[in-house]
Structure 1
Amino acid sequence: MSPRRARTAAVLAAAAALLGAGPTALDAQVALPEAPPAVETGEAEPRVPVLLVPGWSDGLAQLEPLRSRFLEAGWDSAAVATLEFRDPVGSNREHAREIAIAAAELRAATGAWRIDVVAHSMGGLALRYHLRRRDAPAGAVRRVVFLATPHFGTWSSLVAWGDGAREMYPGSDFLMTLMDGRPVPHGIEALTVRTPLDLHILPPESAAIPGVRDVEVCCPTHAGLLDDDGVFAVVETFLTRPLAENAPPPA
């Protein structure tokens, strides 16, 4: 067992306790494997494929530490895909289309019926917009994790740029659209994870959504959420626990 995996295992029990409480293709760059995972006789079925979505101005490099943790935790390399947006600071509406393409490619590459999605920061807003699109395949996404996503906007967007920054401004038309209806469609399990040491999500409560299970992990930075033992333990526990145990709390 690697040192990193050992550290993750040490906090896994605490994570479990926390969770128990309460048609045009765009040129998005998607890091995908060449072949789907194989199932060997007598072995457990492979874990549900995971798509990793970056935040504002980020890309493949920022997601690589998180991808490495999934591989060390037992996910097949064919079952973990990372996405890089064509315009990292662009509109979440366009990013949602790129997520749709990446999700379809991951399902096709693995042969999986459903996938999970872990989105960091602004990427979670694009994910939510994708999930509410009428052309989103029903039942294609099983569980979603939002890592420090500014669901109600963030004042730090005032010093950012691009359409994405404008959409993160508190009270923007884009955010008002997301607030109309359920946070995620019925049948999709959701989790928000945040840190008290986050200087990007202001106010910090914006990273939580009423009615969605929320876990605060002390104390990585905003970017550090992608490579933190405690955070990954929470994410892994959420994605691997039986469906009945993962039922979200009532709104």
Structure 2
Amino acid sequence: MRRSASLFLTGVVLACTAALPAAARAAQPDVPAPVPRPVVLVHGRNAGPGVWGSLTERLTAAGTPADRIFAWSYDSSQSTNEVLAPRLAAYVDDVLRRTGADQVDLVAHSLGSLPTRWYVRYGGAPKVRNWISLAGPNHGTGLAWACALWDQGCRDMTPGSYVVSRLNEGDETPGDVRHTTFWSAGDGQILPTSSTALEGARNVRVADMGHNDLLGDAGVIEQVVGTLATP
């Protein structure tokens, strides 16, 4: 009889012990998932926010709320350093104010890489976590000479221009910003195609494709989304 009672008590103790972790977990308040950083998308020359449809769709599918995805529109014929970078700075400040975030992620295509780089290099770095360049003319492109006579944006993209030279003086990837570039040997508009890569950045060569194809390629988009998801 004593043995039966002992076994019964042991069973009760084990049952209670097994239930404790579950009860403790149930008593803990739910911890909300971290809200993704706002993403600011910056198009290239003679383009607009509509080029980001595929990336926006994939970002929302991956959990970024639509109200934390922004597309900055600008006149790509204007000066990178004198006009566009200050306007981008004001835009980023407005995004941070509206979302309550401390930092944004910047994703730029083509010419958009230059004003975003200028902003990061000259004051914006503390407000940016990721800077991503898709097919950016980061060291210039010889093709820009074709329109440089009448278009300031084209002049800024020419190899050795004031903007390109200043951006690449010393440290090409300043601050604590994570710099990532994506480039294709089949680009056709960034000449040479090696212009996009930056010293100190994570430089990703993608499959051979055209300049604008990087915007809609599923593989490129998946890598961009993965980069932005890294804490």
Q: Which 4+ runs in 1 deviate beyond 4 A?
A: none
Say whether 1:160 aligns with 2:151: no
TM-score, normalised to structure 2, is 0.81
| Deviation for aligned residue 1:43 | 4.0
The one-character-per-residue Cα deviations of 1:156-210 (angstroms, maximum 9, x if unpaired) are: 1022351010111111122111111322322111101112220110000001112
Structure 1, gaps ≥5 residues long: 1-40, 243-251
Say whether 1:80 aligns with 2:85: no
| Deviation for aligned residue 1:42 | 4.6
- AA of the residue aligned to 1:122: L
TM-score, normalised to structure 1, is 0.75
The equivalent of 1:237 in structure 2 is 226
CA RMSD of aligned residues (A): 1.5
The equivalent of 2:12 in structure 1 is none
- AA of the residue aligned to 1:90: Q
CA distance in 2, matches of 1:67, 1:97: 25
CA distance in 1, matches of 2:178, 2:63: 21
Instruction: Kindly tell me the number of residue pairs found equivalent between the two proteins.
Output: 199
Higher RCO (C-alpha 8 Å, min separation 6): 1
Work out which of the residue numbers 147, 157, 168 in structure 2 matches 1:179: 168
| Deviation for aligned residue 1:231 | 0.6
Could you say which structure has the larger radius of gyration?
2
The equivalent of 2:201 in structure 1 is 212
Secondary structure of 1:166's aligned partner: helix
Deviates more, 1:75-84 or 1:159-168: 159-168
Work out which of the residue numbers 118, 121, 128 in structure 1 matches 2:117: 128
| Deviation for aligned residue 1:65 | 2.8
* Contact map agreement 2:126 2:175 (CA 8 A) in 1: no
CA distance in 1, matches of 2:186, 2:61: 26
Secondary structure of 2:126's aligned partner: coil
Q: 5 Å matches for 1:75-114?
A: 75-85=64-74, 87-93=75-81, 94-114=83-103
Identity %: 32
| Deviation for aligned residue 1:68 | 2.1
The one-character-per-residue Cα deviations of 1:60-105 (angstroms, maximum 9, x if unpaired) are: 12223322221122110111000110x2222112111121122111
Say whether 1:69 aligns with 2:58: yes
The one-character-per-residue Cα deviations of 1:189-244 (angstroms, maximum 9, x if unpaired) are: 110111222011000000111221111111332111111111111111211123xx
Secondary structure of 2:86's aligned partner: helix
CA distance in 1, matches of 2:170, 2:43: 24
Structure 2, gaps ≥5 residues long: 1-29
Return the structure number with greater helix share. Answer: 2
* Contact map agreement 2:58 2:225 (CA 8 A) in 1: no
The equivalent of 2:35 in structure 1 is 46
* Contact map agreement 2:173 2:200 (CA 8 A) in 1: no
